[in-house]
Amino acid sequence: MVGVRRPDHFNPREYTVKQILMRAACVLAVSGMILPAALAAQSGGGAKLDDPTIVAIFDAANSWDMETGGLAAKKAQSADVKEFGKMLSRDHEAVRQQGRDLAKKLGVTPTPPGPDFQMAKDHYAAVAKLNGASGAAFDRAFLENEIAYHKAVIDAVTNTLLPAIQNAELKALVVKVAPAFQAHLVAAQNQLSKLPSA
């Protein structure tokens, strides 16, 4: 049908720069939210989940998604997966900058978690797996990683982080960008469904 957009269709060339930046803000802000929840869970709930902790983890989470998106932009076999990786990398870079700007405004110095932090370990393991894959196997591994990561982030934001955020500006940023993170999840799921069976 003319003029009807299929919900499973993803074409990054259809988005304006503003739409891409909004989606990027969502993805990175939301992805930055899973790490505090993991931090609290790792410490048996003893770590205080406060706004400075949430803002401080933005940078690492966004950098990690930029890294995996960049790998897909370079290594993907499918042109669609390559473009998706480029978009993720751009989106996360824009949201990372928004997180940095907000951190500066709030007087918070982002300090990434150490290498023993579980989310860091998971990221390094995912990157190692992606670096060891090629062709169609890379595409599948990348999309599966993005789906799992986005699902975990959405869950953490919804159930842990939004209720914990005290600062109105931080909460507004997370609420504003949350729909774009869901859009990235759906796009990754749709792309995975189009890949040939393994």
Q: Give the mean pLDDT of 173-195.
A: 89
Domain count, the chain: 1
Domain annotation covers residue 2: no
- For residue 144, what pLDDT is reported? 97
Best-predicted range by mean pLDDT (52-56, 90-94, 132-136):
132-136
- For residue 54, what pLDDT is reported? 76
- CATH, residue 41: 1.20.1260.10
Residue 184: is it exposed, middle or buried by C-beta count within 10 angstroms (0-12/13-18/19+)? buried
- For residue 30, what pLDDT is reported? 41
Token pair of 68 as six digits: 């995996």
Name the band, by pLDDT with cuts 50, 70 and 90, for residue 159.
confident
Q: Is residue 127's pLDDT more than 70?
A: yes
Domain annotation covers residue 8: no
Domain annotation covers residue 74: yes
Domain annotation covers residue 7: no
Q: Is residue 1's pLDDT more than 60?
A: no
Domain annotation covers residue 161: yes
Please report where in the chains the tokens 């949201």 appear, as a residue: 95
Against a cut of 0.85, is the pTM above it?
A: no
Query: Between 189 and 65, where is the model more confident?
Result: 189
- For residue 61, what pLDDT is reported? 75
Domain annotation covers residue 50: yes
Tell which phi-psi region holds residue 107, choosing left (phi > 0), alpha (psi between -120 and 50) or beta.
left
Domain residues for the domain of 103 are: 13-189
Distance of CA 153 to the CA centre of its chain: 7
Domain annotation covers residue 78: yes
In eight-state DSSP terms, residue 114 is P
Q: Which run of H or E residues covers position 5?
A: none
Domain annotation covers residue 101: yes
Selection from 59, 1, 5, 2 nearest residue 183 by Cα: 5
Integer CA distances (angstroms), 153 to 28, 38, 146, in order: 10, 10, 10
Name the band, by pLDDT with cuts 50, 70 and 90, for residue 12.
very low
For helices 17-42 and 51-75, the axis angle rounded to 10 degrees is 120
